[in-house]
């Protein structure tokens, strides 16, 4: 038991008492005081009774008073000590409660401040903000408005009090209801946020759904003007590309046309003035070559326009033997290659059946062969090989020439694109590879080009195999 102090007695009894502290500070003092008080009381009793205080009364009173004083002092000390401990515990608890109350008050103030900022931001926002809650009535679920900002009130054209508690089916435009409710259910089921665009009456909304337990917070932003601006930017970019393409077309075609016309005119002029029949024949051949070149350029332009037009005429496919098709191509270009001191090799795998519009596909592969012949030196070997890969026919046209400049390789299928060193007087005009790609893609195929590891270029065409049902595709 800890020693008592005057402050402890004062705290328990409510007043400061040195005498009382002296009495209960130790059991011995308590016993002495008890004996003195008891003897005094006994003496007063005997005085009042008129009888003398004898030895028997004194001998009985002293030990009894000492024992009682000792026990009472001890019990009193224990009681005061217990009460004191309880009061200290109460003070500690009271202090903790004060701290807790201060923390709660501070957190409440922070929450109120945060809510005020939130409400100020939501109410002052130009975006629509609503909170809907899932309700169950008559075994049917429904989403009802539980909060909304002034912008939402403005959009819905009803007083706020009238809107609160209403089903969203009653306030949304018909064009939005089904998609809106489905997205609310999806968010509730998944428990994660979702976002989508929704078209209202002459407006497009960017809707952001955030789950909040049994409710959903929905932010809606009018993005109509932004989408229109983006569409205008895309249209401007497309118009710029068309303008650049037209400018490139005018530049390239005017150069090619003027070159061919100049050569043809010069050849005809020299033909008229030359008395030498051999020389005249050479001028005549040159003039006819340029006329043929002009004719092919104009034909390719017409074909490219038709391929660009999705509403153009249709291509009619039929089952075609790939090996027979390529042998026909070989027979056409083998004499041309021989005249240029070049060689064409056919390395055909097992025959495959393809669904082709033969005239269009023949034109595409003719352009690939002309490209190989025009852009390789004398002595080049051009190889045509086939194989089957992943249910596709693969046709490769390879040469062992100088290959393709890596800088221009990604651009070779663009219309009118030609590197400066690929602009011969007699040769391509920048549409052949573009037309070839367009025709192949109309057949659900694809084409790629790369440089071979051992030198030269490789053009690789992938075409789907023939199916029982032949289809017609627009050119």
Please classify residue 208 by burial: count the beta carbons closer than 10 Å to its beta carbon, then call 0-12 exposed, 13-18 middle and 19+ buried: middle
* pLDDT for position 347: 93
Torsion over CA: 264, 267, 269, 271 (sign): negative
The enclosing domain of 172 has a CATH number of: 3.30.450.20
| Residues 136, 36 share a domain | no
* pLDDT for position 182: 85
Torsion over CA: 185, 186, 187, 191 (sign): positive
Q: Is residue 453 part of a domain?
A: yes
Q: Is residue 346 part of a domain?
A: yes
Q: How many domains, the chain? A: 4
Domain carrying residue 392: 312-474
With H, G, I as helix, E, B as strand and everything else as coil, classify residue 95.
Answer: helix
* pLDDT for position 281: 74
- Is the full-model pTM beyond 0.75? no
Contact 446, 459 (CB under 8 A): no
* pLDDT for position 314: 65
Question: Which element (helix H / strand E) includes 85?
Answer: helix 55-124
Q: Is residue 333 part of a domain?
A: yes
Average pLDDT of adjacent 10-residue blocks, the chain of 475 residues: 51 49 57 64 64 63 64 69 80 88 89 77 77 81 86 83 85 80 85 81 84 86 86 88 71 65 71 68 72 70 65 73 93 92 92 90 91 89 93 92 86 68 47 86 91 89 71 38
| Residues 460, 323 share a domain | yes
Q: Is residue 53 part of a domain?
A: yes
- Backbone angles phi and psi of 164, in degrees to 5: -60, 130
Helix locations, 203-357, DSSP H? 224-273, 277-308, 322-339
- Cα–chain center distance at 312: 38
* pLDDT for position 302: 67
Token pair, residue 62, equals: 């002293």
* pLDDT for position 383: 94
b/e burial code for range 257-281 (CB count within 10 A of at least 16 → b): eebbeebbeebbebbeeeeeeeebe
Q: Is residue 42 part of a domain?
A: yes
Contact 368, 397 (CB under 8 A): yes
| Residues 242, 145 share a domain | no
């Amino acid at each position: 038991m800890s020693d008592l102090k005057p402050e402890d007695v004062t705290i328990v009894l409510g007043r400061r008492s040195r005498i009382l502290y002296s009495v209960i500070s130790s059991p011995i003092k308590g016993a002495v005081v008890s004996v003195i008080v008891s003897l005094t009381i006994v003496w007063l009793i005997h005085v009042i009774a008129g009888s003398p205080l004898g030895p028997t009364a004194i001998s009985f009173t002293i030990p009894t008073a000492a024992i009682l004083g000792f026990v009472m002092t001890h019990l009193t000390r224990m009681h005061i000590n217990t009460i004191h401990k309880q009061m200290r515990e109460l003070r500690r608890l009271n202090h903790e409660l004060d701290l807790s109350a201060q923390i709660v008050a501070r957190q409440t103030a922070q929450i109120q401040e945060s809510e005020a900022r939130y409400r100020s931001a939501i109410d002052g926002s130009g975006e629509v903000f609503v909170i809907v809650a899932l309700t169950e009535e008559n075994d049917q679920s429904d989403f009802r408005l539980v909060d909304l900002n002034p912008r939402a009130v403005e959009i819905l054209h009803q007083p706020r009090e009238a809107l609160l508690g209403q089903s969203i089916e009653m306030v949304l435009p018909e064009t939005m209801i089904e998609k809106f409710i489905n997205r609310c259910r999806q968010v509730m089921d998944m428990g994660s946020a979702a976002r989508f665009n929704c078209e209202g009456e002459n407006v497009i909304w960017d809707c952001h759904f955030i789950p909040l337990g049994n409710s959903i917070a929905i932010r809606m932003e009018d993005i109509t003007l932004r989408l229109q601006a983006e569409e205008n930017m895309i249209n401007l970019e497309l118009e710029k590309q068309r303008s650049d393409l037209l400018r490139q077309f005018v530049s390239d075609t005017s150069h090619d046309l003027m070159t061919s016309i100049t050569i043809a005119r010069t050849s005809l002029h020299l033909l008229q003035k030359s008395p030498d029949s051999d020389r005249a024949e050479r001028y005549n051949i040159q003039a006819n070559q340029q006329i043929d070149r002009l004719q092919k350029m104009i034909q390719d332009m017409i074909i490219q326009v038709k391929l660009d037009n999705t509403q153009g005429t249709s291509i009619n496919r039929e089952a075609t033997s790939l090996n027979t098709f390529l042998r026909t191509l070989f027979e056409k270009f083998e004499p041309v290659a021989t005249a240029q001191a070049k060689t064409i090799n056919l390395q055909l795998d097992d025959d495959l059946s393809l669904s082709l519009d033969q005239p269009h596909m023949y034109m595409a592969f003719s352009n690939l062969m002309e490209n190989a012949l025009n852009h390789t030196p004398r002595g080049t070997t051009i190889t045509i090989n086939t194989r089957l890969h992943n249910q596709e026919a693969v046709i490769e046209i390879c040469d062992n020439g100088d290959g393709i400049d890596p800088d221009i390789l990604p651009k070779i299928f663009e219309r009118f694109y030609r590197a400066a060193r690929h602009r011969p007087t007699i040769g391509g005009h920048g549409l052949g590879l573009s037309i070839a790609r367009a025709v192949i893609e109309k057949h659900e195929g694809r084409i790629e080009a790369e440089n071979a590891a051992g030198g030269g270029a490789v053009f690789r065409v992938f075409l789907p195999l023939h199916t029982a049902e032949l289809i017609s595709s627009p050119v």
